[in-house]
Amino acid sequence: MQAKQNIGVNSSDTTVLIVGAGPVGLSAAFALSKMNIDVQVIDSGLDVDSRMRASTFHPPTLDMIEELGVLDELLAEGLKVPVWRMRQHESGESVAFDLGLLGDATSHPYRLQIEQHRYCSLLVNALAKRGVVVEFGVQAVDAQQDDSGVTLTLDGLDRRRADWLIGADGASSQIRKSQNLDYGGKTYTHSSVLLATPFQFDQYLEDVSGVTYCWSGRGPFSLLGLKSLWRASLYPGVKDLSSAAEEERVREWLEFIHPAAADAEISDVNPYKVHERCVDTFRVGRVLLAGDAAHLNPPNGGMGMNGGIHDAMSLTKALQSVLAGEDEALLDRYSRQRRYVISQRLIPQASANRARMATLDIELQLERLAEQRRLADDPKRCRDFLLKSSMISGLREAEAIE
Ligand SMILES: Cc1cc2nc3c(=O)[nH]c(=O)nc-3n(C[C@H](O)[C@H](O)[C@H](O)COP(=O)(O)OP(=O)(O)OC[C@H]3O[C@@H](n4cnc5c(N)ncnc54)[C@H](O)[C@@H]3O)c2cc1C
């Protein structure tokens, strides 16, 4: 779809313009398209961002993707993990958490392991089939609004006009900046590293499932299975990104995890900084924010992308009602509900997960593992815990917020 250029401020190109074709912008676009709402999507990248990022889809996210109608294709490419684990590396002791306990709370009582870029590509194709062609290579530089709509200035100074604008343009969001929203919070000192390898950790280590969070005397790490590859998430305790990703350092870690992994093929390495941030509001008039543009959290527990997809589903339902004539206050409710979940549930949970794993004291790790075992052995407490860690209770609490 070609951009209309230098249009007058009162005629809209589209009802909803989405900036950002990541998992959040594309989920919103597909939901709106299925509601028969006119939508356009632009992205500054030349294609879907295929860098290694999220790989876990939690049960309620899978319920939402089923509602979108694209779950079967995702399931075909992903790895179902019905039981995830916490494990102490040196002792090999572990505790299993069975998502089957959530069978009455979700239609998908498992985590689906699949790279986020596969979900994005699937949505780009599904949108094209509905006549919405995602416009790559188009960068937003500024957004200004008036009573009737939003004018988006693009790189090259072309403009685009929409009734509503969704900023799903990631952590450095230009749309958030254009609305002068503060992005307060913190950045953790130490860098983290995600690596991908065909080395099959579960064939060399006992009691490892497709999602296994590990304590060790050297530091925490996670082992995450995909259909053919594995990922290891490491916390090497260094500040800058390039030294965190040095091959020698990464190989020492692999050898520590299992000697046979020392020479394993490493197909990808992605060092990254961890943040905790949330905007004060997800709505400024006709400009709405979702996903990393509005909030960031530590990756522990795999909730960032999931939370963003939850934003997209909640926002599009509110927009649908507003476009059907209901009060715009529904969009403020969207902001209140999602801000509550992110700031009171998602960020504190991810940060507590990170803190719980941080100790290097093996005795303390074993004590914490024993606590987790007592929790897993108590069906009621375990179910409550799984409702929280699978992001279901936060969604339920948000529903009650007016
Ligand atoms: C290493 C790593 C591991 C992670 N693991 C997990 C996990 O296991 N589970 C989980 O839930 N989350 C995880 N996350 C978080 C997850 O990747 C993000 O939360 C998710 O990508 C957010 O999606 P988004 O669509 O909001 O933003 P993004 O995916 O960042 O997409 C934003 C899009 O906007 C485009 N864009 C940016 N600026 C502009 C502009 N000015 N004009 C036009 N387009 C623009 C970009 O090109 C990009 O395509 C991880 C993140 C990292 C870095």
Predicted pLDDT of residue 331: 98
Whether 9 is in a domain gets the answer no
Q: Are residues 138 and 67 part of one domain?
A: yes
Whether 39 is in a domain gets the answer yes
pLDDT in tens, 220-260: 999 999 999 999 999 877 777 777 778 888 999 999 999 99
pLDDT in tens, 279-317: 999 999 999 999 999 999 998 888 999 999 999 999 999
Q: Are residues 52 and 162 part of one domain?
A: yes
Predicted pLDDT of residue 89: 97
Q: Are residues 336 and 300 part of one domain?
A: yes
Question: Is 349 close to ligand 1, i.e. is its CB under 6 Å away?
Answer: no
Question: Is 116 close to ligand 1, i.e. is its CB under 6 Å away?
Answer: yes
Q: Are residues 228 and 205 part of one domain?
A: yes
Q: What percent of the chain is predicted at pLDDT more than 90? A: 88
Question: Is 136 close to ligand 1, i.e. is its CB under 6 Å away?
Answer: no
Whether 7 is in a domain gets the answer no
Predicted pLDDT of residue 356: 87
CA of 43 to the centre of ligand 1 (A): 12
Name the residue of 172, 272, 305, 353 whose CB sits within 8 Å of the most ligand 1 atoms, as the mutation to test its pocket: 305
Whether 263 is in a domain gets the answer yes
Last residue of a domain, one of 338, 355, 372: 355
pLDDT in tens, 317-331: 999 999 999 999 999
Q: Are residues 18 and 62 part of one domain?
A: yes
C-beta of residue 38 within 8 angstroms of C-beta of residue 323:
no
Question: Is 299 close to ligand 1, i.e. is its CB under 6 Å away?
Answer: yes
Name the residue of 41, 116, 269 whose CB sits within 8 Å of the most ligand 1 atoms, as the mutation to test its pocket: 116
Residue 18's pLDDT band (boundaries 50, 70, 90)?
very high
Question: Is 305 close to ligand 1, i.e. is its CB under 6 Å away?
Answer: yes
Whether 228 is in a domain gets the answer yes
pLDDT, the chain, mean: 94
Tally of structural domains, the chain: 2
Domain that holds residue 58: 14-78+114-186+275-355
Whether 4 is in a domain gets the answer no
Q: Residue 399 pLDDT more than 90?
A: yes
- SS (HEC) of the chain: CCCCCCCCCCCCCEEEEEECCCHHHHHHHHHHHHCCCCEEEEECCCCCCCCCCCCEECHHHHHHHHHHCCHHHHHHHCEEECEEEEEECCCCCEEEEEHHHHCCCCCCCCEEECCHHHHHHHHHHHHHHCCCCCEECCCEEEEEECCCCEEEEECCCCEEEEEEEEECCCCCCHHHHHCCCCCCEEECCCCEEEEEECCCHHHHCCCCCCEEEEECCCCCEEEEECCCCEEEEECCCCCCHHHHCCHHHHHHHHHHHCHHHCCCCCCEEEEECCEEEECCCCEECCEEECHHHCEECCCCCCCHHHHHHHHHHHHHHHHHHHHCCCCCHHHHHHHHHHHHHHHHHHHHHHHHHHHHHCCCCHHHHHHHHHHHHHHHHCHHHHHHHHHHHCCHHHHHHHHCCC
pLDDT in tens, 64-102: 999 999 999 999 999 999 999 999 999 999 999 999 999
pLDDT in tens, 261-270: 999 999 999 9
Q: Are residues 134 and 88 part of one domain?
A: no
C-beta of residue 338 within 8 angstroms of C-beta of residue 308:
no
Predicted pLDDT of residue 238: 75
Out of 9-18, 30-39, 128-137, 157-166, least confident range: 9-18
Q: Are residues 222 and 74 part of one domain?
A: no
Determine the atom of ligand 1 nearest the C-alpha atom of 308.
26
